[in-house]
Amino acid sequence: MTFQILGMGCAKCNLLESEARKAAEELGGGIRVEKITDLDTIQDMGVMITPAFAIDGDVKSAGKVLNKDQIIQFVKGGSQGLRVSNLRTTT
């Protein structure tokens, strides 16, 4: 499993990364934390506001900093997260 932090490196992005690392450590099982800073990749994932959090490419949150417990809840299935189609604006 890979936690993905999407953002350009702002303070909120860094805080989300820190919380994701804490959650990964608590959950164990070799969870990787990957930081994605490439704007094209972030937009291809349907994210228009950062920071964003994804698990294995599935965006769970955008525009806010999740805490460790919220991230753990996503892993345990307590929250469905966001669908990419819900993040994109159609014209």
37 in catalytic set = no
Which amino acid does the sequence have at 28?
G
Tell me if 52 sits within 8 A of 6, measured CB to CB: yes
Comparing C-alpha atoms, which of 19, 6, 31 is closest to residue 87? Answer: 6
13 in catalytic set = yes
Which of 1, 2, 8, 10 does the annotation list as catalytic? Answer: 10
Which of 5, 6, 13, 75 does the annotation list as catalytic? Answer: 13
Residues annotated as catalytic are 10, 13
